[in-house]
Homo-oligomer: A and B are copies of this chain.
Amino acid sequence: MAGEEVKVLSSWFSMFGLRVLIALKHKGVEYAYKEEDLQNKSQLLLQSNPIHQKIPVLIHNGKPVCESLIIVQYIDETWTSSEKPSILPKDPYDRAIARFWADYIDKKFYDAGSKILWSAVTEEREQAKKDFVEVLETLDGAFRSVSKGGMYFGGNDIGFVDVALASFLCHFKCYEAFGEFKIWESSECPCLSKWAENVLEHSSVKEALAIADPEKLVEAFQLYKKNLDAGSKLEP
């Protein structure tokens, strides 16, 4: 679509923001990226998402869309010409299954991961590591049925669940550093670990995640944690 303006307000370390970038790259949509300082949010962000005041926001021809999975569906439903790959499957049942697992990632995976990063209580962090491994193993089981024999959750190409989960892979080094464990060695996830290798080599994912170097994320999160301890506020 010529003459259109697509802008993303996000932060390089946000797994939710990275989902939006993966989806846009996958659809071949050009966009302007605006890095937000979450300690000092822009007027544009506050005006575009007055309810939650959070990143990511996609602004398409001046109209804002908020909440990462809603944005990804908007992208899928907006750029629909035949040469663009679909993100959600066509079949209603497959769509429901994809939405179920994306929702599961938001509810379970994000929570467990965040507690590994931010919990100040050892027992709570250890419990979060167990929960995290359990979630990974559940996703490993899901992969077998959802992927239908393909390399990705979406089958032969990435789909909604891949977009929802791949952005978290940048943070695996953080989970390992803060949780003092090795994720793949601590879990039984033969399918998911192979998926992680494959999806990180997928061109849309690789290009989108280029801004979120895992080593730099560890440094940044360590710095943020220090700031947090000193009383400032973070929203990853």
Contacts and interface: CB of A to CB of B under 8 A. Distances in A.
Contact of A96 (B74, B96, B104): B74
Size bracket, chain A contacts:
20 to 34
Contact of A95 (B74, B99, B100): B74
Question: Which residue, of A60, A65, A104, A138, has the highest number of chain B Cβ atoms within 10 A?
Answer: A65
Nearest to A98: B70
A71 interface: yes
Interface string A1-29: 00000000000000000000000000000
Contacts of A51: 100, 104, 138
Interface string A55-73: 0000010010111001101
Contacts of A63: 93
Given A51-B138, A138-B51, A77 B92 contact: yes
A213 interface: no
A220 to B, nearest CB: 27
A15 to B, nearest CB: 17
B70 A93 contact: no
A100 B67 contact: yes
A103 interface: yes
Interface in A102-157: 103-104, 138
A232 interface: no
A200 B71 CA distance: 31
Contacts of A60: 93
A74 B93 contact: yes
A63 B137 CA distance: 23
Contacts of A81: none
Given A67-B100, A73-B96, A74-B95, 11 more contacts: A51-B100, A51-B104, A51-B138, A65-B93, A66-B100, A67-B103, A70-B96, A70-B99, A73-B95, A74-B93, A74-B96
Interface of A: 51, 60, 63, 65-67, 70-71, 73-74, 77-78, 92-93, 95-96, 99-100, 103-104, 138
